[in-house]
Structures are given as structure tokens and as C-alpha cells.
Chain A
Amino acid sequence: MKLFRGIATFLWSFFIGDTPELFVGALAVVSLGWIAHQWLGSSGSVYLLPAAAAAVMAWSLARARRR
């Protein structure tokens, strides 16, 4: 049980830590990329994907600045 808890804590701090917005944001970027690819094909989604990732970064930096 202790080992399981230790592994869970390690994985949490490794992937999420004090920036849960980046983890959620990355999932949102992937989902947006999938939807964009279905609707727009590659031509539009190749621009949308990095723009979405940059927007997530901007959101996280704005959050850090407010703290």
C-alpha cells in the first residue's frame, strides 16, 4: 500500500505537479487537434495545433503572474 501510494505520488508530481493546467491543456490541445483534423484536414490543423499549445502556455504564464 505504501509503495502504491509512493508511486502514485511520484507520478502525480511528475506529470501534473503544481501545473495541472498544463496537463489539462495538453489533453485539450490533442482533442482540438483531432476535431480540427476531422473538419479541416491537415491544411488547417497544422496551424491550429501549435497555436493551441502556445495559448495553453500563455494561459499558464498568466496564471503564474497572478500568483
Chain B
Amino acid sequence: MVVAVFLASLVEMVEALTIVVAVGATRGWRTALEGVVAALGALCVLVVVFGPTLTSIPLNSLRLIVGAFLLVFGMQWLRKAILRSAGLKAKHDEDAIYADTVASLSSLSQRDTAGFVTSFKGVFLEGVEVVVTVITLGSPSHRILMASGAALLAVVVVTLAGLVVSRHLSRVPENGFKMTVGLMLMAYGTFWVGEGLGFQWPNGEAAILELAGFYALATASVIPYLRNSATVAQS
């Protein structure tokens, strides 16, 4: 669970950092950091408002709802990663996102507002995904604190990496992370849906690893098939 939260947060934070670095380079670091601080504040409000309501939901219902959401997120992540690996979808290019953000900001005349809003949106939207991941993976097993710690560690790692590599964030092997996270989210989702419905998994929590293995095998077998069909379609 900790690894899944860490990797998912890592991917989201790389995306957010790309936007913040682009804003900082074109509009100045003060505007970019103001957007970051405002977004972090908004995220804190979100957690404070909605976090406590989770404790009032019966555990089995919470597991079922969370499991269903994890299944949806996992399938979305894994689908994208499989399609990218098979060459049916363009890889996520942080350099291209950086160039697009710089170009759109350079053409705008309202200096500070545009930079602030871009930085705020980048951090807030990616941050919401991190919050949802932390809550969905952490709450059914009562490990919210551990999940939050993993997410925080990812934020620190990405921030430090950002200071070192600056705008060369495309070096992060994002598709591999995305595939691993997708597999883990699907495994957790299936497990929690089963728990919520009252299943007795044969090997208890070890079933999560078995489920991840099953989905990994299915993924490994489908990628060459899709890659071949993409090659045939191109030729």
C-alpha cells in the first residue's frame, strides 16, 4: 500500500512540478510559489472538511465504495500505460508540457494572475488526485497516517529532484510507474470490493499480491498483441 501511494504521488507531483517550473521560469518564482501555497491551503481545507466524514461510514460499506473507486482508477491508469507501451497512445512528454505551458504564458499580457492561476491549478488538480489516492488506499485499512507519510515523502523526493534536474523531468520513467501503480490499484480495488462484499480471501491480505500478479500476467500477455496490431495498422 505504501509503495502504491508513493509511486502514484510521485507521478502526480512530477506533473505538478513541470507546470510550477514552467510558471517560475516565465512569470517569476514568487508568482509560482504563491500559486503553490494557495493550492496547498485549498487542499488542506478539502482534507479537513471531508476527512472526518469517512469515520462515520460503516467499514464494510467504506471498503466497497473505496474498492470500486480504486478499481476505476486502477483500470484508467493501467489502460493508459498499456496503450502507451503498445504504441497506441503517445507517451506523456513532460518536456512538451513544459514547452506548451511556457508558450501559453508568454503570449498572455496579464502577468501575475495568469501565472498564479496556472500554478494553482497544476498543484491543486494533481494534489486532489494524491489526496484521493491517500484516502482510498489508507482508509479501509486504517493506515491514513502511513499513506500520508508516503505521499509526503514523494512530494519531498520530487521537490528535491526538481531542484536538481530543473526542467528535465521527462527523464522520470513515468509509464513504468503508471503501470505499476495501475496494477497495484486494481489489486487493492479488487481486494477491498471483495472484503466489502464479505469474501473470505484464501490467503488473507496476501491475496493482494496474488491479484497483482494475475493482473501483471494479463498485462504482459496483452501488450505484445496490441503492439503487433499497432504495427500492422501502421504498415
A42 touches B199 (CB 8 A): yes
Q: A37-B197, A61-B79 are in contact. Are A50 and B88 (CB under 8 A)?
A: no
A15 touches B186 (CB 8 A): no
Q: A23-B72, A42-B200, A53-B75 are in contact. Are A30 and B64 (CB under 8 A)?
A: yes
List residues 3-51 of chain B with CB under 8 A from any CB of chain A.
Answer: none
A64 touches B88 (CB 8 A): yes
Q: Which residue of A lies closest to B222 (CB)?
A: A61
Q: Which residue of B lies closest to A52 (CB)?
A: B190
Distance of A1 Cα from B3 Cα, bound (Å): 40
A19 touches B79 (CB 8 A): yes
A26 touches B75 (CB 8 A): yes
A15 touches B194 (CB 8 A): no
Q: How far is the CB of A7 from chain B (nearest CB, A)?
A: 11
Interface residues on B, range: 35 or more
Partner of B68, one of A27, A37, A54, A60: A27
Partner of B79, one of A22, A27, A37: A22
Which interface residue of A25, A30, A34, A58 has the most chain B CB atoms within 10 A?
A30
Query: Is B193 on the interface with A (CB-CB < 8 A)?
Result: yes
Q: Which residue of B lies closest to A42 (CB)?
A: B200
The A-B contact count (CB < 8 A) is: 90
Query: Is A8 on the interface with B (CB-CB < 8 A)?
Result: no
Q: How far is the CB of A64 from chain B (nearest CB, A)?
A: 6
Q: Which residue of A lies closest to B69 (CB)?
A: A15
Q: Which residue of B lies closest to A29 (CB)?
A: B71
Q: Which residues of A contact B211 (CB under 8 A)?
A: 50
Q: Which residues of A contact B194 (CB under 8 A)?
A: 33, 45-46, 49
Distance of A23 Cα from B230 Cα, bound (Å): 26
Query: Is A65 on the interface with B (CB-CB < 8 A)?
Result: yes
Q: Which residues of B contact A14 (CB under 8 A)?
A: 128-129, 132
List residues 31-67 of chain A with CB under 8 A from any CB of chain B.
Answer: 33-34, 37, 42, 45-46, 49-50, 53-54, 56-58, 60-61, 64-65
A-B residue pairs, 7 tightest by C-beta: A42-B200, A26-B71, A22-B75, A26-B72, A42-B199, A54-B218, A37-B197
Give me 5 A-to-B residue pairs in the complex whose CB atoms sit less than 8 angstroms apart, sorted by A's number. Answer: A26-B189, A30-B67, A37-B197, A42-B201, A65-B88
